[in-house]
Structure 1
Amino acid sequence: MAHDAAARSWPLFRSLAAYRFSLLPGDLIAGLTLAAIAIPEQMATARLGGFAPQIGFFAFMAGSLGFAMLGSNRFLSCGADSTITPIFAGGLAAAAAAGSPEYQSLAIALALMVGAMLLLSGAFRLGGIANLLSVPVMVGFLAGISVHIIVSQMPGVLGLASPSGPMLDRIGVLATELGRTNPYTLCIGFGVLAVVVISEMISAKIPGALIGLVAATLAVIAAGLEAKGVKVVGAVPGTLPRLTLPDLAPEQWVRLVPLAFVITVVVMVQTAATTRSFPSDPDKPADVDRDFLGAGAGSVLAGLIGAFPVNASPPRTGIVAETGGQSQLSGLAAAVIVLALLAFGTGLLQHVPDAALGGILLFVALRIVRVKQIATIYRQSPSEFLLILATAALIIVLPIQQGAFLGIVLSLLHGIWSTTRAKLIEFDRVPGTTIWWPAHPHIAGERIPGVAVVGLQAPLSFLNAPGFRNDVANALKAASPKLLVLEASGMVEIDFTAAQVLLDVFKMCAEQGVTIAVARLESVRAQNAFDRFGLHDVLPKDRVFHSVDEAVRALAKAR
């Protein structure tokens, strides 16, 4: 209990509060394993975004330090991420050539803006924004991202020039160029992919990407494959991170706002999912808002040292949890190892083949497609399966940043549509009890003459209030009750428009000589709405009951 209290009050490096020396060996082992996984992955992700390999290392170090400083989760690994990289790379490429100084400046500015948005989201406890993407939309989103990664990496794996233009055009060009494939790059790319897949099948703890990368590099050197058309990373500057600020005009910052918002939402969704999947304490809810602060600090630091936005990584987080990590010291240890590589070992990276990095990214692309979840949604909810297809199509066909934004819009529209589908339902009394239950053709129920019990199992808002009023009018017309009880347990929220409709319903009942009562108004927000909008001025508080049975006994004089 003392440790928990200390952790909650600790302003910085919360996971290190009351740290015990006995945890150090586990954290160091987890940090070493994390570094072995992260080094090739961060290089590959930087390449995916159009950056030099060392920029990926900068992003990992910034993400690790920033999250350790302000985050709450003990295991979460933050750094360059293949989910958001294609999105912001596509957005930045529309404004500047990849690899140019302006492109770098835009990426830095984007990291600072995303970090600021995440910090504000955490500070104002806006964790609900993480729910903007429904599961089917997120699954479709990842499937579309997967296609982008595959198409962007196949030219390097095949030894071909990268085509430009819309996604479908690029796929067409690649299909016509297959006959010119370089067999050496093909073997390297798919060989590394095979090593990673087999390693993952044996144990996620095996650094298959690093093993494949080392093997491919040795093969390039031993067989002189550079002379046979195999492209390599080349000289990697051994520069260390330093303070870097973007030199952009104000209007360029403004143009980045929509892209920064999309990236922020995706980071929030993935961070929330990661911290909930690997909780620091399984018996307590994850502190999602605090983890937004950590991810935000990571992006701000990344921007300040010349990198790009960072994100939580579920696979790397899982590695930390599975290899004995107990605190963010694991991530910090991995960051120190990466820093040492930058300072003393960049020469080791010179002959790393591009095709090997492409093979790693092909594995990432295949891993993020949630095949089992897609199959489950197809079986259990065909309409939501269409959401997967629609979202994936938007991401693939449109410019990726536009597709991502429309995916968010599609998720919101689906939520609105679900809310507007809510209909008024009738309740029956379970025979021999005082329980009132939604009427069902296969469940025996009984009704009391002159009494109608109805309810709306959804928040009452401007979206469904007009339909609610019509349904109540139809119920009054069909049953002609003397008493109407509104079962309100599902009405967790009542907005202004809905409150006006409720006033109309109360007055309509009074005009028709029908006594109306409310039962089970359990939501505190709904109770406050009754006070705030003056609903009790029309419906006295003695007409609000704890149960339907209490209302019926008090007003219908029936048992």
Structure 2
Amino acid sequence: MAMPQLPISPGSERSIAAEPAPGVGASRFPGLGRDIVAGLTLAAITIPEQMATARLGGFEPQIGFFAFVAATLGFAVFGASRLLTVGADSTITPIFAGALAALAGSGGNLGHTAPTLALLVGVLLLLSGVLRLGWIAALLSTPVITGFLAGVSIHILVSQLPGLFGLPGGSHKLVSQVQEIYAQRGAINPVSTAIGLSVLAIMLVCERITARLPGALIALGLATMAVMLFRLEARGVAVLGVLPEGLPPRFSPDLGWEDFRQLLPLALIISLVVMMQTATVSRSFRDPDGREANVDRDFLGLGAANLLAGLAGAFPVNASPPRTAVVVESGGGSQLGALTAAALVLALALAGGALLAHVPEAALAGVLLCVAQRIFRLSTILTIARQAPAEFALILCTAFAIILLPIETGVAIGVGLSLIHGVWMTTRSQPIEFSKIAGTTIWWPPGEGGETEPVPDVLVVAFQAPLLFANAQSFQHGMLDLLERQRPALLVLEAGGIAAIDYTAAQSLLALAGVCRDRGIAFAIARVESVRARQALQQFGVVAAIGQDHLFHSVDEAVGALRPGASV
């Protein structure tokens, strides 16, 4: 449901998965027993969470069951990871819940727009997998992700307060929700509140013991028993009632231009978050055989999962870090565990609606309150605030954007802030003058490598960042300033830290070469280790401008060949 805290090391995952399964049939069906146990454990944790997440999105609880079943089938067939589990997810549900509610309020149909949105997300994820766009998952920095999750956790908290307090729900806007709760504060039902907080406490205790303990199911069962034994419905405790049984109504996609125009931006944002979370889970929980994660194929699996969820009349789904961790800790080694859980959840959806009739709504609120505290990464926030105050500002900006604006707008702002932060870091790079370490052939930043020795009329400068449009001007000005101060006979650009060069930056290099030529300064480039950078130098005419004989494998080689008095 939430973004991962990575509680399990790759080594422990492999050791758990590698344990031999006991029993006579282990040799014929290796790991079968462990997968079934993992599936039972997963089902126990999944049932209450899928119900709660569906309610978070404004859907009937059983819709969460169908979302999980359809998503599991889609990913099991097309996904690469043998451990990753998918389903309704509290990270993305708040993003589309308010937007879909607004569309429904303006004449739309929630039962139509949600599946349509899932289909759009599915198509976008399939395209991402086919086009190998796994790199997009790195667009969000850790501070922005942390701020995003903090904002989402506040949304979940506020949205569940009416259910916790036994009050009727209303607005999907956070500020309006707070105002409504305050206006109805005299009608708070203390019994409902006690149930929800007890569910939260039980889940927290179970999590502290072991992730395999189905705290949500235990708490939900105890809360339901309390409602039945003490007749709490008569004291104003709201319950789910008998849920509809059987398959959901058949959904026929009917995507008009207006639907497409309204839903596509939202689908793009949700797809980005799904890609980010899927890549994180895939890389954090390696398959038992230790294979590298195939993120692009996992995008195909999530695409198929969302398509099937849409066709099942549900809503967008996502990879789940905590449920995947449960599969790993339970010893699961294949998608059989998730399929076992899906079979149990489907049976409950088809014929178990009466079993959930007395589940108190406050208990589902307690489940989501636990999710909210789980994704609020307080320790990460405090660490970033202490070590990187500027990036802590990113957390605050993203969190407040998520809280105060429509969530999809806040996510878009978070993506923009992440990209701006990356560009800003790049623009801070400046040329650094290197000195020769005495008695060696090593050129190093001054003050870090020991005693240096002067080399008359030679200026060696390094640039330790990709050379791009964002820093091309600062690079050119910095180099010219050094030339004015030093007035060398030879300038060597140490390019070991330059991973890439774009067209704009190449023009700055050509301008620098022209200045050197006009002033009678020899110009060389050394240690171009990046293949991309070497290709750019050729492609944009830099090599032709300075000459192939002015490219060197090392600074010392360039100085020995081109310093005053030497011949190439």
Task: Report the TM-score, using the length of structure 1 for normalisation.
Answer: 0.93
Deviation at 1:20, TM superposition (A): 6.3
String of CA shifts for 1:260-289, please: whole Å, max 9, x gaps.
Answer: 111011111111111111111685532111
Matching residue within 279, 304, 310 for 1:303 = 310
Matching residue within 89, 98, 119 for 1:90 = 98
Indicate the SS of the match to 1:260.
helix
Q: Residues 471 and 492 (structure 1 numbering): CA distance in 2 closer, same or farther, change over 3 Å? A: same
Contact 2:98–2:172 (CA under 8 A) maintained in structure 1: no
Q: Residues 447 and 60 (structure 1 numbering): CA distance in 2 closer, same or farther, change over 3 Å? A: farther
What does residue 144 of structure 1 align with? 151
Q: Residues 143 and 55 (structure 1 numbering): CA distance in 2 closer, same or farther, change over 3 Å? A: same
1:77 pairs with 2:93: no
Indicate the SS of the match to 2:109.
helix
1:189 pairs with 2:230: no
Distance (whole Å) between structure 2 residues aligned to residue 20 and residue 322 of structure 1: 23
Q: Percent identity?
A: 54
Contact 1:115–1:299 (CA under 8 A) maintained in structure 2: yes
What does residue 224 of structure 1 align with? 231
Matching residue within 205, 217, 224 for 1:210 = 217
Q: Which amino acid aligns with 1:132?
A: L
Structure 1 window deviating more from structure 2 (529-538 vs 302-311): it is: 529-538
Q: Note the residue ranges of structure 1 that are not aligned, 5 or more in a row.
A: 1-18
1:278 pairs with 2:285: yes
Contact 2:499–2:532 (CA under 8 A) maintained in structure 1: yes
Indicate the SS of the match to 2:247.
coil
Contact 1:499–1:535 (CA under 8 A) maintained in structure 2: yes
What does residue 488 of structure 1 align with? 495
String of CA shifts for 1:129-155, please: whole Å, max 9, x gaps.
Answer: 101110000000000000000000011
Matching residue within 86, 95, 103 for 2:110 = 103
What does residue 39 of structure 1 align with? 47
Measured on the aligned residues, the alpha-carbon RMSD in Å equals 1.9
Contact 2:457–2:564 (CA under 8 A) maintained in structure 1: no
Q: Which amino acid aligns with 1:69?
A: V
Distance (whole Å) between structure 1 residues aligned to residue 289 and residue 175 of structure 2: 45
Matches for 1:147-186 after TM superposition, within 5 Å: 147-164=154-171, 166-186=173-193
Q: Which amino acid aligns with 2:99?
A: G
String of CA shifts for 1:226-266, please: whole Å, max 9, x gaps.
Answer: 22211111221112256522334212112211111110111
Deviation at 1:181, TM superposition (A): 1.3
What does residue 368 of structure 2 align with? 361
Task: Report the TM-score, using the length of structure 2 for normalisation.
Answer: 0.92
Contact 2:490–2:564 (CA under 8 A) maintained in structure 1: no
Structure 1 window deviating more from structure 2 (441-450 vs 515-524): it is: 441-450
Deviation at 1:433, TM superposition (A): 2.0
What does residue 122 of structure 1 align with? 129
Q: Which amino acid aligns with 1:323?
A: S
Q: Residues 558 and 217 (structure 1 numbering): CA distance in 2 closer, same or farther, change over 3 Å? A: farther
Q: Which amino acid aligns with 1:295?
A: L
String of CA shifts for 1:488-509, please: whole Å, max 9, x gaps.
Answer: 1221111111111111111111
Distance (whole Å) between structure 2 residues aligned to residue 282 and residue 453 of structure 1: 48
Deviation at 1:61, TM superposition (A): 1.0
User: What is the number of residues matched between the two proteins?
Assistant: 540
Contact 1:97–1:103 (CA under 8 A) maintained in structure 2: no
Contact 1:163–1:174 (CA under 8 A) maintained in structure 2: no
Matching residue within 400, 415, 418 for 1:408 = 415
Structure 1 window deviating more from structure 2 (435-444 vs 256-265): it is: 435-444
Q: Which amino acid aligns with 1:24?
A: L
Distance (whole Å) between structure 1 residues aligned to residue 499 and residue 404 of structure 2: 39
Indicate the SS of the match to 1:43.
helix
Contact 1:26–1:324 (CA under 8 A) maintained in structure 2: yes
Which runs of at least 4 in structure 1 moved beyond 6 Å after TM superposition?
A: none
What does residue 385 of structure 2 align with? 378
What does residue 112 of structure 1 align with? 119
Distance (whole Å) between structure 1 residues aligned to residue 219 and residue 87 of structure 2: 21
Structure 1 window deviating more from structure 2 (417-426 vs 201-210): it is: 417-426
Distance (whole Å) between structure 2 residues aligned to residue 76 and residue 419 of structure 1: 35
Distance (whole Å) between structure 2 residues aligned to residue 440 and residue 20 of structure 1: 65
What does residue 266 of structure 2 align with? 259
What does residue 433 of structure 2 align with? 426
Q: Which amino acid aligns with 2:175?
A: L
Distance (whole Å) between structure 2 residues aligned to residue 135 and residue 36 of structure 1: 31
Deviation at 1:446, TM superposition (A): 3.5
Distance (whole Å) between structure 2 residues aligned to residue 524 and residue 537 of structure 1: 17
Q: Which amino acid aligns with 1:58?
A: F
Contact 1:238–1:342 (CA under 8 A) maintained in structure 2: yes
Contact 2:467–2:498 (CA under 8 A) maintained in structure 1: yes
Distance (whole Å) between structure 1 residues aligned to residue 304 and residue 284 of structure 2: 21
Deviation at 1:432, TM superposition (A): 2.3
Contact 2:489–2:564 (CA under 8 A) maintained in structure 1: no
Distance (whole Å) between structure 1 residues aligned to residue 451 and residue 263 of structure 2: 59
Distance (whole Å) between structure 2 residues aligned to residue 283 and residue 246 of structure 1: 40
Deviation at 1:381, TM superposition (A): 0.5
Distance (whole Å) between structure 1 residues aligned to residue 180 and residue 517 of structure 2: 71
